[in-house]
Structure 1
Amino acid sequence: MYPTRRTFFQQLALAGGAFSASSLFAQAHAAAWLEADTRLAHLTPQQVAVDEDYWHLIQQAYPASSSNILILNNGGVSPAPLVVQQALDRYNAMINQGPSYYMWRLLDQGREALRDKLALLAGTSAEEIAINRNATEALLTVIYGLNLKRGDEVIGTLQDYPNVVQAWRQRAGREGVIYKQLNFTFPIEDDDVIVREYEKAITPATKIIHVTHVINWMGQIMPVQKICQMAKKRGIEVLVDGAHSFGLLDFTIPSLGCDYFGTSLHKFLSAPVGTGMLWVRREKIAGIWPLFCNSKPQGDDIRKFETIGTRSFAIEQAIGEAVNVHNAIGTKRKEERVRYLKNYWAERVQKLPGVRLHTSLKAPFSCGICGVSIDGMTIPEFEGQLFGKYKINTSPTTWENISCVRITPHVYTSPADLDRLVTAITQIADKRK
């Protein structure tokens, strides 16, 4: 069952273990956040999205909210809440008292509890969840692990993430797999237009469709569920890049209808940098070779994808505190708040002379990420002025039909922060007249 905030707080009070009642989150925030949750219980997520008293409480959990640099590149890597940073420090200190004991004999035992916690958030079985280091590792595990042969076709897009594009191209170059890339001009506000393009590209040789849930360059939400429904009718598997959707959009992985799903946890979930997750449908596990060696490479245990050698157990175990923070807010509340923040600034600049948005502002087609450009300015010049004069950190994007500055707020971002952004864009655009 997908966890509710009320269920989460009840479980937090009753359960033991490293990530429940004894957690740093419970000590620092549980009482105040439960009180705030009770006050807002009668409101819809959309109504909570504009309650600044509530979000001020949330912002206090993030040290980054007080930074002199305004971080609006959360689509790349998000700052972690303080309790996540403290957990990481605590586990690192513990390990360094004696790594061979504290790491292998103690912290390693926490992985199954963490797997359960992530599975509950994902709405799936723990036996389908592998914990790794980022979306690239998760997705490449599937891309390189699929039993494809020469002539088998894969459909992706030019707008997919470069690491996965290069991985598919490598399989094509080395093994003769046919890699076909669609080319979209975003924003698109019609799901059927997108689905039809995938459908038209299918041939009898098509074995898998690779789809990015949220296009990282400018935030287009792709109709993953509809693409999966179409593909399933034709016996085609679907691999979903969920790097920018998991921990933000309100969905469960099985509800998408895909076969494989990879994500990073250091984006909207705000887990430590270098954390990720792979989901493989249970009956598909045996058919995927692990990216790293394993004694049973064709076994059906999801843990075969975790045999990567020595890694940071401290980073891994601190994920639990990030999940606690996320659950206490609630996925739908987070989604609506971040969408509200995106629209807050974007609606104010979209009518400025020379300013162009590259992202839909309609809820079905975008959430937190939005691209913006100014006529007559190169993207590096625009991004450089935002940081050089206004100390606003964004992401310059020039990639396959997309040329914009990517701006991504998070729950620790305030409307006052975005007023600063609007002022900056207004002043920069005025100088271009």
Structure 2
Amino acid sequence: MHKNRRKFLKNLSVGVVGSLAFSNQGWTQSYERLKVVIDDLKLNEANSSEAYWEKVSSQFRFAEGLHYFNNGSLGACPTPIREATTTFRNTLDDFPSKYMWGGWDTQKEETRKKVAQLFKVSQEEIALIHNTTEGMNLIAQSMNLDSGDEIIISDHDHSSAVAPWTVWQEQKGVKLVRSTLPILPKNIEEVVAVYKNVITPKTKVISICHIVNTNGMMLPVKEITQMAHENGILVAVDGAQGAGMVLTDLRDMDCDFYTVSAHKWLFAPKGIGIFYAKESSQHHLRPLIVARGYKDSSIRRLENYNTRNLPELLGLGAAMDYRNAIGGQKIHERTYELKRYFRERVKDNEKLRLKTPEDDRLSAGIQVVEILGKEVSDVKNQLFENFGIDSRPMTKFGLNAVRLSFAIFITKKEIDRLVDVLNSIAES
């Protein structure tokens, strides 16, 4: 009996060691595959041909027959990042206590550093959280405001960016001032004036979107921030639709807080987000969750969840490697190339009306278009049911338009097909 027990334990120990060896091998294989993709992209970094972008597109896998123009709602994750994240998850489950409690500390900090480099800020100004909504809650619940103080928001802010201010501040008597943004502003100054005109001595915070999710209008964060700071006002930015789509130099923008869902335009796994707090503004912040280690004075106190989604966090690091292999400037330029290509293709059809500002300072990779005489819900359904095109219908503010996202996996061939379909629906 004892002999059999010893044999059982010996076999069990061999199985454990074998599984650990397998997980390490899986980790290596995953990064080898990712490295092959990255090396190939870097080898062609000077290449901006359509063939290059078709190669990038091939690294994103979608359901058969699906043409995905809805990245503004939920981003796609390229295949090598999916594989890397799956390997991280398997590695964690092969030895949970090791990797959850310190085994990946170095890799976590490497990810933080990569994110900080993306935004051109210090890694001591970056917290790795869950999503934009958490970041907006973190800001809103932290502010030590009094009844009668004012926060400026806009009518185009996402509901998840407004709700935190409503719950944490408005319910204690702080006033939410809702400014009205123009749908098609003529210039930056017109947008800045919207916020400037509602500032009072009671204004403490301006909360804005980098790019609004309604019609893809991009707000001049730097100019609004400069105006706000001249009046002693903090600026919080919902960056869900900005970071990754366009170059985002937070040091230059100078906003106090900026929060991102990394699954959108950074193509990271779902459930991981980024929170930036300028060093001089961090004293305003209190963590949403407290646990052991709550006395940590660094920005890491804002992400102290105990157990957390580490595979997705490291997946963000892998996504940053992937992005860097292409190049942030190159992605930025491609975004605008696709925007201009689409606008040029639809401009001569009198039945198609663009409802996104044309100025490159006021829009980028999200464009909305109305088919005159058609209900947008019907257009959305026709696009998907008849042609497999996924888009987002926008009904607020009289838009009656489909929102189209031009991420880096969208090719000009895809845009040609999209425009042909829009033209056919307009004529039907």
What TM-score, normalized by structure 2, do the two folds share? Answer: 0.89
Q: Any idea what SS the aligned residue of 2:111 has? A: helix
Q: Flag the structure with larger Rg.
A: 2
Equivalent-residue separation in structure 2 for 1:298 and 1:260 (angstroms): 22
Please tell me the residue identity of whatever aligns with 2:366. I
Q: What's the offset of the Cα at 1:77?
A: 1.6
- Please tell me whether residue 34 in structure 1 is matched to residue 21 in structure 2: no
The answer to whether the 8 Å contact 1:214/1:245 transfers is yes
Match of 1:278 in 2: 275
Match of 1:427 in 2: 424
Please tell me the residue identity of whatever aligns with 2:35. Q
Alignment of 1:115-264 (within 5 A): 115-264=112-261
1:124-183: CA deviation from partner (whole Å, max 9, x where unpaired): 111110001111111211111111111110001010011111222223442111100111
Equivalent-residue separation in structure 2 for 1:284 and 1:151 (angstroms): 22
Identity in percent: 29
Q: Work out which of the residue numbers 363, 366, 378 in structure 2 matches 1:366.
A: 363
Aligned CA distance change for structure 1 residues 307 and 423 (closer, same or farther; 3 Å): same
Aligned CA distance change for structure 1 residues 69 and 26 (closer, same or farther; 3 Å): closer
The answer to whether the 8 Å contact 2:38/2:322 transfers is no
Aligned CA distance change for structure 1 residues 424 and 418 (closer, same or farther; 3 Å): same
Equivalent-residue separation in structure 1 for 2:30 and 2:277 (angstroms): 31
Aligned CA distance change for structure 1 residues 209 and 194 (closer, same or farther; 3 Å): same
Q: Work out which of the residue numbers 323, 326, 330 in structure 1 matches 2:323.
A: 326
Aligned CA distance change for structure 1 residues 399 and 352 (closer, same or farther; 3 Å): same
Please tell me the residue identity of whatever aligns with 1:328. A
The answer to whether the 8 Å contact 2:132/2:274 transfers is yes
Equivalent-residue separation in structure 2 for 1:413 and 1:261 (angstroms): 27
Q: What's the offset of the Cα at 1:75?
A: 1.0
Tell which deviates more after alignment, 101-110 or 210-219.
101-110
Please tell me the residue identity of whatever aligns with 2:31. S
Q: What's the offset of the Cα at 1:350?
A: 3.0
Equivalent-residue separation in structure 2 for 1:201 and 1:246 (angstroms): 27
Alignment of 1:10-159 (within 5 A): 23-24=31-32, 27-37=35-45, 39-40=46-47, 48=48, 51-64=49-62, 67-159=64-156
Equivalent-residue separation in structure 1 for 2:169 and 2:399 (angstroms): 25
Please tell me the residue identity of whatever aligns with 2:44. A
Aligned CA distance change for structure 1 residues 401 and 172 (closer, same or farther; 3 Å): farther
Aligned CA distance change for structure 1 residues 297 and 89 (closer, same or farther; 3 Å): closer
Aligned CA distance change for structure 1 residues 159 and 298 (closer, same or farther; 3 Å): farther
Equivalent-residue separation in structure 2 for 1:365 and 1:19 (angstroms): 42
Equivalent-residue separation in structure 1 for 2:388 and 2:145 (angstroms): 48
Tell which deviates more after alignment, 91-100 or 416-425.
91-100
Q: What's the offset of the Cα at 1:105?
A: 3.5
The answer to whether the 8 Å contact 1:225/1:255 transfers is yes
Tell which deviates more after alignment, 163-172 or 192-201.
163-172
Alignment of 1:294-305 (within 5 A): 294=291, 300-305=297-302
Q: Any idea what SS the aligned residue of 1:189 has? A: coil
Q: Any idea what SS the aligned residue of 1:366 has? A: coil
The answer to whether the 8 Å contact 1:370/1:407 transfers is yes
Equivalent-residue separation in structure 1 for 2:179 and 2:294 (angstroms): 33
Please tell me the residue identity of whatever aligns with 1:230. M
Aligned CA distance change for structure 1 residues 352 and 327 (closer, same or farther; 3 Å): same
Q: What's the offset of the Cα at 1:20?
A: 12
1:75-127: CA deviation from partner (whole Å, max 9, x where unpaired): 11221111110111101111221322233232354211111111111111111
Tell which deviates more after alignment, 19-28 or 178-187.
19-28
Q: What's the offset of the Cα at 1:265?
A: 0.8
Q: What's the offset of the Cα at 1:322?
A: 0.6
Aligned CA distance change for structure 1 residues 372 and 316 (closer, same or farther; 3 Å): same
Tell which deviates more after alignment, 131-140 or 100-109.
100-109
Match of 2:375 in 1: 378
Equivalent-residue separation in structure 2 for 1:312 and 1:250 (angstroms): 27
The answer to whether the 8 Å contact 1:75/1:216 transfers is yes
Match of 1:13 in 2: none
Match of 1:9 in 2: none
Q: How many residues align?
A: 403
Q: What's the offset of the Cα at 1:24?
A: 4.3
Unpaired runs of 5+ residues, structure 1, are 1-17, 41-47
Match of 2:7 in 1: none
Q: Any idea what SS the aligned residue of 1:359 has? A: coil
Aligned CA distance change for structure 1 residues 182 and 20 (closer, same or farther; 3 Å): farther
The answer to whether the 8 Å contact 2:291/2:306 transfers is no
- Please tell me whether residue 316 in structure 1 is matched to residue 310 in structure 2: no
Q: What's the offset of the Cα at 1:388?
A: 0.9
1:154-213: CA deviation from partner (whole Å, max 9, x where unpaired): 001010011111222223442111100111231213111111111110100000101111
Q: Any idea what SS the aligned residue of 1:168 has? A: helix
Equivalent-residue separation in structure 1 for 2:291 and 2:174 (angstroms): 25
The answer to whether the 8 Å contact 1:19/1:320 transfers is no
